[in-house]
Amino acid sequence: MRDIPHSKFVALAELRHRIRQFLQGSEHAAEKAGLEPQQYQMLLALRALPQNHGVSIRQLADRLLLRHHSAVGLIDRLEAKGYIRRDHNGHDLRRVSVILLPRGKRALEKVVRQRLHELRDSGHALVAAITAILDESIPQRGQRAARSANVRKAGAFLRGRRTRNI
């Protein structure tokens, strides 16, 4: 078994630092917008999930890695603030969809706008940390080209451009 090079420990520590830094900034931005950090995460998950048949509480709980009853409590608080609404299925009252309301969209957009701005400014360091972890000492030609393409796509995404296959 090969020893893990010191550079991988450094890169992993840097990645963890950058992720925590981003998450902490998200928490501060959420609080500044009048949201608890988990409320922001719930609104973000709700906005990101496909809305064709509504979003269930189970889907949101799974997405946030929460137990169902914890997700219900979070939804209760968001509903009390007028950010979301529960919709009951007419045929099966056990089936509940969660709907993002305009007030919730505005609060979410306020936080997301600030977070995207920060990612555009400092996202390159996060990409560099991930790249340092994924790069092997002697990558094969095809792997190197694929990684380079992925790094370019990630960089373009972080700069706010749309690219294919991200």
What does the pLDDT look like over 4-18, one tens digit per residue? 999 999 999 999 999
Q: Please tell me which residue, 149 or 46, carries the higher pLDDT value.
A: 46
- Domain 6-134 bears CATH identifier 1.10.10.10: yes
Give yes or no for residue 56 having a pLDDT over 90.
yes
Q: Using pLDDT thresholds of 50, 70 and 90, give the confidence band for residue 143.
A: low
Distance separating alpha carbons of residues 115 and 25, to the nearest angstrom? 8
